[in-house]
Amino acid sequence: MKLSEWAARNGVHYQTAWAWAKEGRMPVPVVQTPSGMWLVEESTPEVVGRTVAYCRVSSGDQKADLDRQVSRVVQGAGGLGLAVPH
C-alpha cells in the first residue's frame, strides 16, 4: 500500500511517515520503488486472543444434549482453525 494510505490508516501525518521511511525507522517493512515512491509491505495481522465457546441448555435434564452441543461447537471451531481450550 502507498505510504500516504498507511499514514492515514494509522493516524500518522504523511510527512512523519515519509521521514521515518527515509531514516529506516518505520514500524512496518517498507520498500522504495525505482521511481522513488515508498510502499508499505502488507502483512497478515497476527490475531492475538483466545477462542471462547458458549453452549447451554434449559435444564439439567438435558445434560446429554449439552455434551453433544459442546462437541459440535468445538469441532466447528477446529474446522475454522480455532483452538478451544477444555
Which has the closest alpha carbon to 2: 46, 32, 27?
32
Check: CB of residue 57 under 8 Å from CB of residue 66.
yes
Catalytic residue among 35, 43, 58, 59: 58
Name the residue type at position 8: A
Let me know how many helices (H) and strands (E) the chain has, helices first: 3, 2
Indicate if 58 belongs to the active site: yes
Give the residue numbers marked as catalytic: 58
